[in-house]
Amino acid sequence: MSQVTLKSLSEELDALRAHLAALTAKIAEMGGADLAEAAAPAEPAPVAVAAAPEPEEISEEILMAISAAVAAYLGKRAHIRTVRLLSSTAWAQQGRVNIQASHRLNVPHHHNRVR
């Protein structure tokens, strides 16, 4: 599998824009000028590379609260070396699972039905 780079993405995007322009011209030739105008690509937006965000300072009070929570969970004091925020949707997903599981569905089951 080849590695994706910003340069390769930019080249692929340029190729897609050229292909779209050719299709728009073809539509215009076939008499679909209204469609060609609607499908005409707008000026491409510049591609910006986002810089890595600077880590925020964590106050000593928050570190103490984290330390107390870890100690309560483990049952003993622990040395905290690093604290960092991880972006995750796991909490939200688990909350949705719990809510959906709490819905009671009244579906009749006729397993013992005599015919």
pLDDT at site 1 = 44
Q: Is the pLDDT of residue 94 over 70?
A: yes
Span 4-43, pLDDT tens digits: 677 777 788 888 888 888 888 888 888 765 555 555 555 6
Q: Which uninterrupted H or E stretch holds 101?
A: helix 90-102
Overall number of domains in the chain: 1
* pTM for this entry: 0.30
Query: Considering the domain boundaries, does residue 16 fall inside one?
Result: yes
CA 114 to chain centre: 52
Query: Considering the domain boundaries, does residue 87 fall inside one?
Result: no
CB-CB contact of 47 with 6 (8 Å)? yes
Query: Considering the domain boundaries, does residue 71 fall inside one?
Result: no
CA separation for the pair 10, 100 (Å, rounded): 42
Tokens at 37, concatenated: 């105008």
Q: What are phi and psi of 14, to 5 degrees?
A: -60, -40
Query: Considering the domain boundaries, does residue 13 fall inside one?
Result: yes
Span 58-93, pLDDT tens digits: 788 888 888 899 899 888 888 888 877 777 788 888
Query: Considering the domain boundaries, does residue 74 fall inside one?
Result: no
Q: Which domain holds residue 31?
A: 7-39
Among all chains, which residue has been given the structure tokens 């000026």?
43
Query: Considering the domain boundaries, does residue 102 fall inside one?
Result: no
Q: How many CA atoms lie within 13 A of 77 on its CB side?
A: 2
Query: Considering the domain boundaries, does residue 23 fall inside one?
Result: yes
Query: Considering the domain boundaries, does residue 11 fall inside one?
Result: yes
